[in-house]
Structure formats: C-alpha cells, structure tokens
C-alpha cells in the first residue's frame, strides 16, 4: 500500500484563490450545504458541533492550500472528516474552527495490471465494493457501506520511501498527515457466502461457546470468519452471529463447530456479494442517533467470554429500557494468522502485531435518543470495562491494547501501544510534523500525549 499526504514534507503552495473557487469548496452557516454537511455524521454528538465553515477541497493542491493557511492561524482548530463515522464529538468535526471534508477524494481506480486499486480517502466502502465487483476484484475494507478509509496527498509514502512514516500511519491515527488516497493490493473476488443469523436469549451461552471455539479454529479456516453480537433492545436480550466465507460455499465454521445444533429464529445467509452485505449492515446502523463505542482486548478464553456476557446483561439491565436504547456487545477475534499478517509489508504500529495467541476484540456499541441519558450510558460502559478488566487481570488474560476505530474518547489508545511503539510514533511525528500541527491544531482524536479534545 502506498499513501499520499498533504502539506507535510515540502512547503505548501501559496495559492491565490479567486472568490468563485472559494464558494465552490466552502459551505457557510445558514446555507443548505452547510446543514447537509452537518447532518452527514454517524453520531448526533458530532452533528451538534457547528464549525465556522466546512471546506471541501477538490484536489491535493486545494487541500495543501487549506493546511498552509490554517497554519498561519494557529488558534483556529481544524478537524478532518473522512466518512464521519467516529462516534464522539469532535473526532471529525469542530466547534468554531474549520472542518475539512474529504468527500471529493472519492476515486476508485484499478491499475492496468489489476494488481492494485487507488482508493480515495473520501470514498465509501460501499462505493469501493460496487466499483470493484464490476471487474471481479476486492480490497480488505470495512463491513459497513458508509465507513471510509482515510489517506492523503503530495508526498508518496510507501514502505521503501519513508518506512517510519508508513509504519506510523498504519495504526498511529490522525497524528502525522492528511491522507488523500491509498494504493491497495487488489484481490480477485466474485461471489461469496454470508449473512446474519438471529437467536433468542436462551441460546446465548451456546453462541459464546461457538465464538470461542471458532476463534481458536480460525487459522485453520482462513477463508471463513464470524462476528458474535449480543443485543439489548426494548428490555429484551437477543443475539446475532454474522458468518462469512470468501467463497460461495457455506463456511466450514458450521461443519467444524456445534453452531448447526443451535436453533435460530431467522437468517439472511445467502450466496451474495460483499457490497450487499455492507449495504445491509449499513441499513441496520442509521446516522443521526446518539452513539458511544468502546473497546478492550483480552486473550481468547471461554470463561472470560461468558463473564463478558454476564456483565453486559447486568449493566444494561441496570439502565432499563431508555428511550431508543440499543446496546450491542460486539465480539470479534483477531486470530493468530491475522496477527502474523500485521508484521508483513512494512508492519504496523499496533503492539499486538506478530502475537501468537488469539485475541478477543470487544466492542460495546450503544445508541440512544436523549442527551439526558448520556452520562448513565457512559457510566454503564465504564462499569462494564472496569469489571471485566478486573476479572481478566486476575486470570492474566488482560491485553493492554485498544483498537482505535472502536475506542471511546475516555480511552488512552496510544498509551496502550506500549512505551516502545509510542516513542517511535513520537519520533516520526517530530520528523514529519516538527511544528506539531497535528498535535495542537487538529486536537479532536487520539493524540500522542494522551489528549482528546476539540
Ligand atoms: C456502523 C459502523 C461500522 C463499522 N465497522 C467497522 C469495521 O468493519 N471495521 C473497522 O475496522 N471499523 C469499523 N468501524 C469503525 C470505523 O472504522 C471508525 O469509526 C473509523 O474512524 C471510521 O472512519 P471515518 O473516516 O468514517 O472516520 P472520521 O470520523 O471521518 O475520522 C476519524 C478520525 O480519522 C481522521 N481522518 C479521517 N480521514 C483522514 C485522512 N484521510 N487523513 C488523516 N486523518 C483522517 C479524522 O480526522 C478523525 O480524527 C465501524 C463504525 C461504524 C459506525
């Protein structure tokens, strides 16, 4: 993968901008386009912030110009929005400052030898899958159609040209650059098998057993994967298992585990396409609600997984059925083969890269309606994590790593990367951003000194 960055290693061009040009790129308060941009966030907490303007560059030169101008006004906070899917306020929007929106970086271009695909940092995964399916290719991406991958301009970054910056951008977050596009390896792909099975509460312990068993089996069935999710909605508990196989045949997780014995109420399993799965997932997660996402990592273990289920039920039962509350406890596994793959092709900044024990990646995700319920819900999540961490530590199962895309604003993601990786990330930042633009003037996500602010 190669990346392109804006305004980092060479002086940004001083563009003189005619008025017409500014009005094309900029949406001001009171305009319909401003309201549309403000509403185009996954969470209501982000939409509630009102920047001085939204700036929507059409190309790398305009993006570079914006960064150069912003640096002349160090008290003006800048936010960068890719797909706007981060859930907490200020992650990709700002109050009073300027929000740079990457929506025009929406290219999906297959190389002539079909080996790589240029993916613009502002495109949506659904668009990427739709375009690539026309030519029987895919790239590894998010499972929801509106989730976007960020990446940027002017400086080509790859593992040979700038190995440290390349490594840092793979997991180090918004601390180094604005990425305009990614060159990703293309994978031949056609039909696949997958969908969601729905279960009643009584079968949740069996599903937890399946989750753990299939996690240990993952390295032996690399074409298959699963995600187990517990739900609390309207005072009721249910669960789903998402099953995927990259080929159009049923996942061998079914034949190799007891899941076939567990009765389900309905399912959407079919021979299908990646775009259809992403679209159906997107429909289940609409924009505009209050949201909080949290994360933790543990060694994969049966009793611990059952304890997570127990604590999730206790903490959500204590909340009761709040207005519009849907609490999900999403459980995924990073299997050994995934952890080993993280060390290839330039590696990444995650402390788990190269690990040899499968991991639980826990992601409680709550949505609700009323701002007055924010604190109760945040407290329930904090309780869940404190209790599970205590149990995991007692049994030496706790892993001090937080998966950034799922982390809440109250979690110190980069500290969880460990002193060695954090020190290396800081050195990369001071080399490529010596004035600390991405540390101080774009404050809204996980910064290297542990701050999150806007
Ligand atoms: C319904 C749903 C499903 C999800 N599914 C998955 C999944 O399957 N797998 C997974 O890993 N994650 C998943 N996520 C999490 C998702 O990856 C994160 O929310 C991620 O931050 C979304 O990227 P974004 O560009 O939309 O975020 P934004 O909110 O736009 O940005 C997040 C942060 O990245 C910065 N940023 C964005 N673009 C750039 C750029 N080009 N250059 C520099 N910085 C940039 C922003 O400034 C901000 O600080 C999901 C989230 C949701 C809400």
Over the stretch 165-212, which tens digit does the pLDDT of each residue have?
999 999 999 999 999 999 999 999 999 999 999 999 999 999 999 999
What percentage of the chain reaches a pLDDT higher than 90?
81
Write the Ramachandran bin of 320: left for phi over 0, alpha for psi from -120 to 50, otherwise beta: left
Q: CA separation (Å) from 156 to 143, 159, 175?
A: 27, 10, 17
Distance from residue 148's CA to the centre of ligand 1 (Å) = 6
Distance CA 18, CA 110 (A): 34
- Neighbour count for residue 159 (Cβ, 10 Å): 17
**Strand, helix or coil at 423?**
helix
Over the stretch 411-437, which tens digit does the pLDDT of each residue have?
999 999 999 999 999 999 999 999 999
Residue 328 is predicted with a pLDDT of 98
Would the CB of 102 count as within 6 Å of ligand 1? yes
Distance from residue 95's CA to the centre of ligand 1 (Å) = 19
Over the stretch 322-360, which tens digit does the pLDDT of each residue have?
999 999 999 999 999 999 999 998 899 999 999 999 999
Distance from residue 83's CA to the centre of ligand 1 (Å) = 6
User: Is the pLDDT score of 66 beyond 70?
Assistant: yes
Report which of residues 140 and 274 the model is more confident about. Answer: 274
Q: CA separation (Å) from 16 to 20, 22, 90, 264, 409?
A: 12, 10, 30, 63, 38
The label of the residue with tokens 């982000």 reads 46
Give the pair of three-digit tokens for residue 180: 């305009």
- Neighbour count for residue 283 (Cβ, 10 Å): 10
Would the CB of 82 count as within 6 Å of ligand 1? yes
Over the stretch 119-131, which tens digit does the pLDDT of each residue have?
999 999 999 999 9
Residue 113 is predicted with a pLDDT of 96
Give the pair of three-digit tokens for residue 141: 């991406």
Distance from residue 343's CA to the centre of ligand 1 (Å) = 22
Query: CB of 166 within 8 A of CB of 346?
Result: yes
Would the CB of 86 count as within 6 Å of ligand 1? yes
Please state the rounded mean pLDDT for residues 366-382. Answer: 98
Over the stretch 302-325, which tens digit does the pLDDT of each residue have?
999 999 999 999 999 999 889 999
pTM of the predicted protein model: 0.93
Provide the strand spans (E) within 45-159: 53-55, 78-81, 98-101, 108-110, 116-120, 137-138, 155-157
Over the stretch 285-299, which tens digit does the pLDDT of each residue have?
899 999 999 999 999
Would the CB of 46 count as within 6 Å of ligand 1? no
Query: CB of 387 within 8 A of CB of 311?
Result: yes
User: Is the pLDDT score of 14 beyond 90?
Assistant: no
Which positions ≥6 away from 19 have C-beta within 8 Å?
none
Residue 192 is predicted with a pLDDT of 95
User: Is the pLDDT score of 145 beyond 90?
Assistant: no
User: What confidence category does residue 252 fall into, taking pLDDT thresholds of 50, 70 and 90?
Assistant: confident
Q: CA separation (Å) from 454 to 290, 345, 435?
A: 18, 34, 19
Report which of residues 392 and 162 the model is more confident about. Answer: 392
User: What confidence category does residue 161 fall into, taking pLDDT thresholds of 50, 70 and 90?
Assistant: confident
Strands 137-138 and 116-120: unpaired
Among 8, 56, 81, 366, which residue has the most ligand 1 atoms within 8 Å of its CB, making it the best to mutate? 81
Report which of residues 255 and 91 the model is more confident about. Answer: 91
Residue 115 is predicted with a pLDDT of 93
Distance from residue 87's CA to the centre of ligand 1 (Å) = 9
Among 63, 150, 229, 288, which residue has the most ligand 1 atoms within 8 Å of its CB, making it the best to mutate? 150
Would the CB of 179 count as within 6 Å of ligand 1? yes
Q: What is the mean pLDDT of the chain?
A: 90
Would the CB of 285 count as within 6 Å of ligand 1? yes
* CA nearest ligand 1 atom 17, residue: 405
User: Is the pLDDT score of 95 beyond 80?
Assistant: yes
Query: CB of 142 within 8 A of CB of 278?
Result: yes
* CA nearest ligand 1 atom 32, residue: 86
Distance from residue 208's CA to the centre of ligand 1 (Å) = 28
User: Is the pLDDT score of 20 beyond 70?
Assistant: no
Distance from residue 255's CA to the centre of ligand 1 (Å) = 34
b/e 191-224 (16+ beta carbons within 10 angstroms → b) = ebbbbbbebeeebbebbbbbbbbbbebbeebeeb
Over the stretch 220-235, which tens digit does the pLDDT of each residue have?
898 999 999 999 999 9
Residue 154 is predicted with a pLDDT of 75
Greatest alpha-carbon pair distance for the chain in Å reads 68
Residue 257 is predicted with a pLDDT of 87
């Amino acid at each position: 993968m190669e990346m392109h960055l804006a305004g980092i290693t060479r002086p940004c061009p001083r563009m003189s901008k005619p008025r017409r040009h500014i009005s094309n790129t900029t949406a001001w308060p009171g305009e319909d386009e401003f309201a549309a941009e403000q509403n185009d966030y996954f969470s209501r907490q982000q939409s509630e912030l009102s920047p001085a303007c939204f700036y929507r560059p059409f190309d790398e030169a305009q993006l570079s110009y914006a960064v150069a101008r912003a640096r002349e006004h160090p008290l003006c906070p800048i936010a960068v929005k890719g797909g706007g899917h981060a859930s907490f306020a200020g992650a990709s929007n700002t109050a009073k400052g300027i929000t740079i929106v990457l929506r025009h970086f929406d290219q999906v271009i297959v190389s002539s030898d079909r080996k790589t695909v240029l993916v613009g940092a502002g495109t949506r995964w659904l668009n990427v899958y739709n375009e690539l399916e026309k030519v029987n290719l895919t790239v590894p991406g998010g499972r929801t159609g509106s989730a976007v991958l960020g990446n940027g301009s002017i400086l080509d970054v790859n593992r040979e040209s700038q190995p440290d910056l390349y490594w840092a951008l793979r997991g180090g977050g918004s601390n180094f650059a604005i990425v305009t596009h990614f060159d990703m390896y293309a994978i031949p792909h056609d039909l696949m098998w997958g969908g969601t099975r729905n279960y009643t509460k009584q079968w949740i312990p069996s599903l937890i057993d399946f989750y753990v068993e299939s996690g240990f089996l993952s390295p032996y069935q690399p074409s298959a994967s699963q995600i187990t999710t517990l739900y609390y909605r309207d005072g009721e508990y249910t669960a789903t298992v998402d099953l995927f196989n990259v080929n159009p045949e049923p996942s061998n997780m079914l034949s190799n585990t007891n899941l076939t014995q567990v009765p389900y109420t309905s399912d959407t399993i079919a021979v299908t396409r990646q775009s259809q799965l992403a679209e159906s997932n997107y429909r289940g997660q609409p924009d505009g609600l209050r949201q909080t996402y949290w994360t933790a990592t543990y060694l994969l273990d049966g009793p611990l997984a059952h304890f997570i289920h127990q604590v999730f039920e206790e903490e959500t039962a204590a909340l009761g059925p709040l207005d519009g509350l849907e609490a999900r406890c999403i459980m995924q596994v990073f299997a050994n083969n995934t952890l080993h793959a993280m060390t290839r092709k330039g590696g990444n900044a995650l402390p788990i890269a190269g690990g040899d024990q499968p991991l639980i990646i826990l992601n409680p995700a709550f949505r609700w309606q009323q701002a007055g319920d924010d604190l109760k819900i945040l407290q329930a999540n904090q309780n869940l994590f404190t209790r599970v961490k205590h149990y995991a530590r007692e049994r030496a199962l706790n892993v001090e790593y937080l998966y950034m895309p799922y982390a809440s604003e109250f979690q110190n993601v980069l500290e969880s990367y460990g002193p060695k990786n954090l020190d290396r990330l800081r050195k990369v930042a001071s080399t490529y951003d010596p004035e600390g633009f991405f540390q101080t003037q774009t404050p809204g996500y996980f910064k290297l000194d542990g701050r999150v602010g806007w």
